[in-house]
């Protein structure tokens, strides 16, 4: 198996994206060396589904400004350029800084006419690593109330890239939606598999992610989860529109919920077929 990068993604939360990602990783790991990269830094849960014990590999920091009041003239220019209102200027007072609002853009350091603003840092997240079920896992975790999950995703992705030579396949489980953290996780993948469900909302959000993948020029396929609980024609229409094949249809099963609760990956024929499809794809065959 040639080393392949696959992103499991979806425009909507709750479609079973992480369930598919962990189950595919566990199935592939029976015959291949697999790294699962959990890029949902706001709510990483792949290690829970796989019952893996994780350890901290890295603390992720972000630049924040630091004032030298000996140089500050209370002019308020730093507050004027702060688009996130992390700096509050009251007349004749030193600036009030709200660290949790800051995105580390550095505009205030440039705008300050007296060089009174230097640079410090704050912790915004962690990178964890662990393994179970034959799958190695790297995940990013954003500290609550912090803003820049894409910074954490990028840090975790760098660690995954450093380890890439050890694996036959790297599966990235992205967050839901089409925001910056999702784009960061998608970049560099050979293929994206969009997980959806046969509902109007599932179809709407699937189209959003398909548009993004088209812009990013990442080849895509579709997995239809809970395929027997709605109208699959909604998804089939989008599949034709974007020339993206539905490569698996996973029916609803109570056992999936029970296994999820007990940290057991899905094992059914659709997941096995999906894993075989990936193995063939990595060998250059459809």
- Give 276's contacts (C-beta < 8 A, 6+ positions apart): none
Q: How far is CA 8 from CA 38, 163, 171, 192, in A?
A: 10, 19, 7, 6
d(CA 229, CA 235): 13
| Percent of the chain residues topping a pLDDT of 90 | 79
pLDDT-derived band at 280 (thresholds 50, 70, 90) equals confident
Answer whether residue 260 shows pLDDT above 80: no
Nearest to 139 by CA among 158, 156, 164: 156
Does residue 163 sit in helix, strand or coil?
coil
Instruction: Give the model's pLDDT for residue 284.
Output: 45
Residues 153-211: tens digit of each pLDDT: 999 999 999 999 999 999 999 999 999 999 999 999 999 999 999 999 999 999 999 99
Helix segments in 196-251, DSSP class H: 200-216, 233-241
Contact 116, 16 (CB under 8 A): no
261-270 contact pairs (CB < 8 A, 24+): 262/51, 263/48, 263/49, 263/50, 263/51, 264/51, 265/22, 265/23, 265/25, 265/26, 265/27, 265/49, 265/50, 265/133, 266/19, 266/20, 266/23, 267/23, 267/27
The reported pTM is 0.87
pLDDT at res. 1 = 65
pLDDT tens string 202-253: 999 999 999 999 999 999 999 999 888 889 999 999 999 999 999 999 888 7
Domains, the chain? 4-59+131-282 (3.40.50.300), 69-115 (3.30.70.20)
């Amino acid at each position: 198996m040639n080393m392949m990068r696959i992103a499991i993604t979806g425009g909507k939360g709750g479609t079973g994206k992480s369930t598919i990602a962990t189950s595919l990783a566990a199935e592939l790991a029976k015959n291949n060396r697999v790294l699962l990269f959990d890029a949902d830094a706001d709510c990483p849960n792949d290690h829970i589904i796989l019952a893996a014990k994780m350890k901290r590999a890295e603390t992720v920091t972000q630049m924040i400004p630091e004032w030298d009041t000996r140089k500050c003239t209370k002019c308020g220019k730093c507050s004027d350029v702060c688009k996130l209102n992390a700096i509050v200027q009251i007349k004749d007072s030193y600036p009030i800084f709200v660290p949790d609002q800051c995105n580390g853009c550095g505009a205030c350091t440039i705008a300050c006419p007296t060089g009174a603003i230097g640079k410090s840092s704050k912790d915004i997240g962690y990178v964890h690593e662990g393994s179970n079920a034959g799958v190695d896992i790297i995940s990013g975790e954003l500290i609550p109330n912090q803003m820049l999950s894409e910074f954490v995703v990028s840090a975790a992705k760098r660690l995954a890239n450093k380890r890439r030579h050890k694996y036959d396949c790297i599966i990235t489980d992205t967050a839901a939606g089409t925001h910056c953290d999702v784009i960061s996780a998608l970049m560099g993948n050979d293929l994206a598999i969009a997980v959806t469900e046969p509902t109007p909302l599932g179809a709407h959000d699937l189209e959003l992610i398909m548009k993004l993948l088209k812009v990013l020029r990442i080849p895509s396929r579709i997995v239809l989860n809970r395929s027997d609980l709605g109208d699959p024609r909604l998804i089939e229409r989008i599949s034709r529109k974007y020339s993206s094949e539905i490569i698996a249809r996973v029916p609803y099963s109570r056992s999936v919920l029970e296994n999820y609760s007990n940290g057991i990956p899905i094992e059914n024929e659709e997941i096995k077929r999906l894993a075989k499809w990936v193995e063939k794809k990595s060998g250059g065959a459809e």
